[in-house]
């Protein structure tokens, strides 16, 4: 199992999917995830905000946080732009890459 800062990197078996209204909502991350900018709202419709939240949740979050804040299709779309530690990227890459290669041709 991959580790980041000595902790296991938890990766789900399938990418989570959120209802559109939740995937694109405005969110305030709990203090344990976003201690440096307490109370900041992130507009998930905004690509930059969404990328920032995904980076925070993938680095600092629990499996429950992943299910709460990350939509798999939007994660795949952002994947190459996210700034993540090597261990986290390596742990998640097979799942994300599998989603990319499993997409039907347009």
Structure tokens belonging to residue 52? 């920032």
Q: Is the pLDDT of residue 50 over 90?
A: yes
Overall pTM surpassing 0.75 (yes/no) = yes
How many residues in total does the chain contain?
Answer: 106
CA-CA distance, 41 to 50, in Å (whole number)? 11
Average pLDDT over residues 72-76: 98
Mean pLDDT taken over the chain: 90
CB 27 within 8 A of CB 42: yes
Average pLDDT over residues 58-72: 97
């Amino acid at each position: 199992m991959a580790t980041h800062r000595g902790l296991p990197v938890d990766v789900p078996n399938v990418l989570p999917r959120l209802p559109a209204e939740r995937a694109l909502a405005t969110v305030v991350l709990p203090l344990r995830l976003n201690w440096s900018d307490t109370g900041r709202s992130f507009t998930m419709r905004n690509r930059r905000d969404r990328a920032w939240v995904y980076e925070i949740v993938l680095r600092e979050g629990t499996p429950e946080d992943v299910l709460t804040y990350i939509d798999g299709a939007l994660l795949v779309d952002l994947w190459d732009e996210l700034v993540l530690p090597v261990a986290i990227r390596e742990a998640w890459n097979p799942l994300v890459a599998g989603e990319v290669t499993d997409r039907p041709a347009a």
